[in-house]
Amino acid sequence: MSSVLIIEDEKAISSFLKVILENKGYRITITETARDGLSVLSTMPDIIILDLGLPDRDGMEIIPEIREWSQIPIIIVSARGREKDKVMALDIGADDYLTKPFGAEELLARMRVALRHSNRFKNTVGEESAHYVNGGLSIDYVARRVFIDDREIHLTPLEYRLLTVLSQHTGKVLTHQFLLKEVWGVKYISQNHYVRVFMANLRNKIEKDPAYPQYLLTEQGIGYRLIDFIEE
Ligand code: CA
């Protein structure tokens, strides 16, 4: 079963996490400071739950330190609900962000998505799947063809690129900056409107009702998430 490192100084939250996670069979370690959390990292947990307001350091600071050498999924749980905090955490390498208070089911779902990603990451060396299926959406990466409910959808090269980047991170919120960098390139990271325009086009082609998207969800002020139908 997966091991979870919790870095959280608020006892009410860490005991709540302990109960729900142990109940699901996760092995957990709780540390209350950034320093202790980092020192436990050598045990290689499968996933990290990180608070930002820690007594010794800001949790935000330690994300890049972890990312220098490890792709362990990091889920932020924080009282800071501002969009700019979420965007920053995701841009410097966090996998997901939950604002306190959050529900147990939501945390568990985000953890499963993050863990599945990291497993995919581990397993994909040389054997990446050529075919993607998620709900009614399927992509043949080799033939570069996209289908919704077995009906072929014709995308422009940039729409296709945007969809494949989202599909490679299914279930995870991707920031505007990340999408701009991956789809258009680093020179374009200030062109937020590109993402909006192309996302609108993609929705028109993929969604039954683009005003109420089932696949391509907006995370207000942060970015977009391609729904993971295994989770929903
Ligand atoms: Ca705290």
pLDDT per position as a tens digit, 90-101: 999 999 999 999
CA of 57 to the centre of ligand 1 (A): 10
Question: What's the pTM value of the predicted model, to 2 decimals?
Answer: 0.78
**Which pLDDT score, from 0 to 100, does residue 43 have?**
86
CA of 216 to the centre of ligand 1 (A): 32
pLDDT at 230 over 80: no
CA of 9 to the centre of ligand 1 (A): 5
**Which pLDDT score, from 0 to 100, does residue 128 have?**
52
> Mean pLDDT across the stretch 24-44?
94
**Which pLDDT score, from 0 to 100, does residue 42 have?**
83
- Strand 223-226: give its sheet, edge to edge: 173-175, 223-226, 216-219
Rounded to an integer, what distance in angstroms lies between the CA atom of residue 170 and that of residue 167? 5
CA of 18 to the centre of ligand 1 (A): 16
CA of 223 to the centre of ligand 1 (A): 26
CA of 38 to the centre of ligand 1 (A): 16
For residue 217 the two structure tokens come to 């969800």
Q: Where are the domains of the chain?
A: 3-124, 131-226
CATH number for the domain formed by residue range(s) 131-226 = 1.10.10.10
CA of 176 to the centre of ligand 1 (A): 28
pLDDT tens-digit series, residues 112-159: 989 887 765 444 443 456 889 999 999 998 889 999 999 999 999 999
CA of 113 to the centre of ligand 1 (A): 24
Angle between helices 59-67 and 83-91 (to 10 degrees): 20
Question: 81-117 burial, b for 16+ CB within 10 Å, e for fewer?
Answer: eeeebbbbbbbeebbbbbeeeeeeeebbbbbbbbbbb
pLDDT at 35 over 60: yes
Rounded to an integer, what distance in angstroms lies between the CA atom of residue 54 and that of residue 26? 23
pLDDT tens-digit series, residues 159-203: 999 999 999 889 889 999 999 999 999 888 888 899 999 999 999
The domain covering 3-124 belongs, at the CATH homologous superfamily level, to Response regulator (3.40.50.2300)
For residue 90 the two structure tokens come to 């995701």
pLDDT tens-digit series, residues 1-16: 899 999 999 999 999 9
* C-alpha distance from residue 198 to each of 134, 175, 187, 222 (Å): 21, 14, 17, 16
pLDDT tens-digit series, residues 49-102: 999 999 999 999 999 999 888 889 999 999 999 999 999 999 999 999 999 999
Helix count (H) and strand count (E) of the chain? 8, 12
